[in-house]
Amino acid sequence: MRVMRLAVLLVSVLVAAGTTLVAEDQCGKNSLNGAFGFAGMGLVPQKTENGGLRYDPASQVGMVTYDGQGTVTVSMGVQYQGKTSPFNFSGTYDVNSNCTGKASFKDSAGAETLIWDFVIVHGGQEIETIALRPAQQSRPMYSLTFTQKKR
């Protein structure tokens, strides 16, 4: 009887611990709430006069703010082709329960112009991100990778 009680107690503890571990791994929109800084580099393809492609370097640095409910706002500077330009834009984001997610940014006509695929890491203190041009656009695909770090 004593062995049976010990076995039931052990199973109860393991189930409770397993439930706690699963709950800690769950993510949602509210997992991203606050300001994150970032810097990144990448290559942007440009069509050449002879129909080929060249890849020009681009650098970016900025601040991203998530509202915990699905809206993301970006304020950044980009250096490209010898010029530095400020960019401010906003979009929407969603987070999957496995802590991966996607942010989408659209132009004034509602066409998607930029996608961020990301994964939340280090307990929500960092976001590993890749920025992509949507594939349906006629311009060549590019990607920039960067890490967002919570302020």
The answer to whether residue 23 sits within a structural domain is no
* pLDDT > 60? residue 133: yes
The answer to whether residue 98 sits within a structural domain is yes
Q: Number of folded domains in the chain? A: 1
pLDDT at position 106, please?
93
Mean pLDDT of 79-99: 95
- Kindly report the pTM of this predicted structure: 0.75
The answer to whether residue 21 sits within a structural domain is no
pLDDT at position 49, please?
92
Percentages of the chain per state (helix, strand, coil), in multiples of 5: 20, 55, 25
* pLDDT > 60? residue 13: no
pLDDT at position 44, please?
82
pLDDT at position 31, please?
94
* pLDDT > 90? residue 79: yes
pLDDT at position 89, please?
94
The answer to whether residue 5 sits within a structural domain is no
Q: pLDDT tens digit string along 17-69?
A: 443 334 455 899 999 999 999 998 888 888 899 988 888 888 999 999 999 99
The answer to whether residue 6 sits within a structural domain is no
The answer to whether residue 103 sits within a structural domain is yes
pLDDT at position 88, please?
94
The answer to whether residue 19 sits within a structural domain is no
In 10 A of CB 112, how many CB atoms? 14
Per the structure, the complete domain to which residue 121 belongs is given by: 29-150
pLDDT at position 140, please?
57
Least confident residue range of 54-63, 85-94, 128-137: 128-137
The answer to whether residue 62 sits within a structural domain is yes
Residue 138: give its domain's CATH number. 2.40.128.120
